[in-house]
């Protein structure tokens, strides 16, 4: 038996499909949205649609941006000879919050996971290798998560890059195994960056 009317149930279902939102949270959000003034709901809907329409990948690092090239890649003061490879844009933002990393990034948009059917061709690895053809690149810092998928991806990238002679490093173990970079404090991230090791 359905507890609520069709539109409410449909809204709860749609919200529950979002990552990190369970049935209870979806119900709370649904009722909050229903009780919001119509103008605020319309503004929220417009904002979501506008983000969906305008946000794209940076032409160089593949982070999410509303420009052809993101602010980090466009900044001439950044060290463009050092590329930090991260799994997603949230990880990039986590490192940017430290204010200490001065290089640029490459966002993979995932990690290799044979169990989930995600192979090297499903993430932005080909694009990374294309970037490395520039003589300007001196170091690649692999900052994937310390999960099985993150470690698999790091080893795969290392095997691809090592023959080129470019220095490949991995962030240090200040990041706990199984931890997601976006949830880790700036001090721990900074220690991991400063203590990176040669692969």
Residues 37 and 107 in one domain: no
Q: DSSP characters for 146-166?
A: SSHHHHHHHHHHHHHHGGGT-
The number of distinct structural domains making up the chain is 2
We report the CATH number of the domain holding residue 146 as 3.40.1360.10
Read off the pTM: 0.76
What is the tens place of the pLDDT at every residue in 132-190? 987 889 999 999 987 888 889 999 999 999 888 899 998 876 666 677 777 777 767 77
DSSP state for residue 187 in the 8-state scheme: H
We report the CATH number of the domain holding residue 24 as 1.10.8.420
Residues 25 and 108 in one domain: no
Report the pLDDT value the prediction gives residue 27, as an integer from 0 to 100.
Answer: 92
What is the tens place of the pLDDT at every residue in 27-80? 999 999 999 999 999 999 999 999 999 999 999 999 999 999 999 999 999 999
Q: State the residue range of the domain holding 43.
A: 6-54
């Amino acid at each position: 038996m359905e507890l609520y009317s069709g539109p409410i149930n449909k809204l709860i279902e749609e919200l529950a499909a979002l990552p990190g939102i369970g049935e209870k949270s979806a119900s709370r959000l649904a009722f909050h949205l229903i009780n919001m003034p119509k103008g605020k709901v319309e503004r929220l809907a417009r904002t979501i649609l506008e983000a969906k329409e305008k946000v794209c990948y940076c032409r160089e690092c593949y982070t999410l941006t509303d420009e052809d090239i993101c602010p980090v890649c466009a900044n001439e003061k950044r060290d463009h000879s050092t590329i930090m490879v991260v799994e997603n844009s949230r990880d990039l933002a986590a490192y940017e919050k430290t204010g200490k990393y001065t290089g640029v990034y490459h966002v993979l948009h995932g990690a290799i996971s044979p169990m989930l059917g995600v192979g090297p061709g499903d993430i932005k690895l080909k694009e990374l290798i294309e970037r490395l053809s520039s003589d300007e690149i001196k170091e690649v810092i692999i900052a994937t998560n310390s999960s099985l998928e993150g470690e698999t991806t790091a080893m795969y990238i290392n095997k691809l890059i090592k023959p080129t002679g470019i220095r490949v490093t991995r962030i240090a173990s200040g990041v706990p195994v199984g931890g997601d970079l976006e949830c880790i404090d700036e001090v721990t991230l900074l220690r991991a960056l400063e203590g990176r090791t040669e692969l």
